[in-house]
A and B are shown apart, each in its own frame.
Chain A
Amino acid sequence: MAIKNLIKLDFYAMKPLVRIMIIFLIIPIILGIVADLGASILVTLTFIAFMLNVVFSITEKSNFNKLYGTLPVRMTQCIISRYLFSSIVVVFAGILSFANYIILSLALNGIIDWKRGGEFLALSMLIAFLFISIQYPFYFSFEYSKAMIMSILPYVLCFAIGVPLTQYLMKNDSFRIIIMGIIKYFSDNILVMLVSGITISMLVMTISCIISIKIRKKEI
Chain B
Amino acid sequence: MIEISNLSKNFKDFSLHNVSFTLPDGFIMGLVGKNGAGKTTTIKLILELLQKETGTIKVFGNEIKDNFDMKQDIAVVFDDLFFVEDWKISDVESAISPFYIRWNSSTFHGYLEKFNLATNKKVKELSKGMKIKLMLAVALSHKARLLILDEPTSVLDPVARDELLDILLQYIEDENNSILFSTHITSDLDKIADYLTIMNNGNIFYTGIKDELFEKYCIVKGGLETLTSEIENHLIGLKKGTTGFSALLDIQNMKYIASGMITEKATIDDILIYINSEK
Residues of A within 8 A of B (CB): 2, 5, 8-9, 12-13, 15-16, 58, 61-67, 69-74, 218-220
Given the known interface contacts A5-B99, A72-B69, the answer about A12 and B84 at a Cβ–Cβ threshold of 8 Å is yes
Does chain A have a CB within 8 A of B78? Answer: yes
Give the residues from 232 to 246 in chain B that come closer than 8 angstroms, CB to CB, to chain A. Answer: none
Q: How far is the CA of A175 from the CA of B51 in the complex (A)?
A: 52
A140 to chain B, nearest CB (A): 15
Does chain A have a CB within 8 A of B225? Answer: no
Residues of B within 8 A of A (CB): 44, 47-51, 66, 68-72, 74-76, 78, 80-87, 91, 94-96, 98-100
- Check B76 against A70 for contact (C-beta < 8 Å): yes
A13 to chain B, nearest CB (A): 5
A199 to chain B, nearest CB (A): 32
- Check A12 against B95 for contact (C-beta < 8 Å): yes
Our pick among A8, A64, A72 for the contact of B71 (Cβ within 8 Å) is A72
Q: How far is the CA of A58 from the CA of B87 in the complex (A)?
A: 12
Our pick among A9, A58, A63 for the contact of B81 (Cβ within 8 Å) is A63
- Check B99 against A73 for contact (C-beta < 8 Å): yes
- Residue on B with the closest CB to A13? B84
With A13-B84, A69-B44, A70-B76 already in contact, 10 other A-B pairs whose C-beta atoms are closer than 8 Å: A12-B84, A15-B91, A16-B86, A62-B82, A63-B81, A66-B76, A70-B74, A72-B99, A73-B68, A220-B44
Q: How far is the CA of A66 from the CA of B78 in the complex (A)?
A: 8
- Check A67 against B83 for contact (C-beta < 8 Å): yes
A16: chain B residues at CB < 8 Å are: 84, 86
Q: How far is the CA of A163 from the CA of B98 in the complex (A)?
A: 49
| Chain A contact residues: helix, strand, loop or mixed | helix
B275 to chain A, nearest CB (A): 29
B76 to chain A, nearest CB (A): 4
Our pick among A64, A74, A218 for the contact of B51 (Cβ within 8 Å) is A218
- Check B50 against A220 for contact (C-beta < 8 Å): yes
B44: chain A residues at CB < 8 Å are: 69, 220
Q: How far is the CA of A2 from the CA of B76 in the complex (A)?
A: 19
Given the known interface contacts A16-B84, A70-B76, A71-B71, the answer about A219 and B91 at a Cβ–Cβ threshold of 8 Å is no
Our pick among B47, B70, B81 for the contact of A69 (Cβ within 8 Å) is B47
- Check B80 against A63 for contact (C-beta < 8 Å): yes
- Check B85 against A70 for contact (C-beta < 8 Å): no
- Residue on B with the closest CB to A9? B95
A7 to chain B, nearest CB (A): 11
- Check B84 against A15 for contact (C-beta < 8 Å): yes
- Check A72 against B83 for contact (C-beta < 8 Å): no
B94: chain A residues at CB < 8 Å are: 12
Q: How far is the CA of A5 from the CA of B85 in the complex (A)?
A: 19
- 4 closest A-B pairs by CB: A16-B86, A67-B82, A72-B71, A69-B49
What are 8 A-B contacts defined by CB distance under 8 Å?
A: A12-B84, A15-B86, A16-B86, A62-B82, A64-B82, A69-B47, A72-B69, A73-B71
A186 to chain B, nearest CB (A): 42
Please indicate which of the listed interface residues B49, B76, B84, B87 has the most CB atoms of chain A within 10 Å of its own CB. Answer: B84
A33 to chain B, nearest CB (A): 33
Q: How far is the CA of A67 from the CA of B100 in the complex (A)?
A: 13
Q: How far is the CA of A62 from the CA of B91 in the complex (A)?
A: 14
- Residue on A with the closest CB to B91? A12
B201 to chain A, nearest CB (A): 21
Q: How far is the CA of A102 from the CA of B96 in the complex (A)?
A: 39
Q: How far is the CA of A220 from the CA of B43 in the complex (A)?
A: 12
Our pick among A8, A15, A65, A220 for the contact of B98 (Cβ within 8 Å) is A8
Q: How far is the CA of A67 from the CA of B75 in the complex (A)?
A: 11
B96: chain A residues at CB < 8 Å are: 71
Given the known interface contacts A62-B81, A66-B49, the answer about A5 and B76 at a Cβ–Cβ threshold of 8 Å is no
A149 to chain B, nearest CB (A): 23
- Check A70 against B71 for contact (C-beta < 8 Å): yes
A9 to chain B, nearest CB (A): 5
Given the known interface contacts A15-B86, A70-B76, the answer about A8 and B95 at a Cβ–Cβ threshold of 8 Å is yes
- Check B71 against A15 for contact (C-beta < 8 Å): no
B266 to chain A, nearest CB (A): 34
A220: chain B residues at CB < 8 Å are: 44, 49-50
Q: How far is the CA of A8 from the CA of B95 in the complex (A)?
A: 7
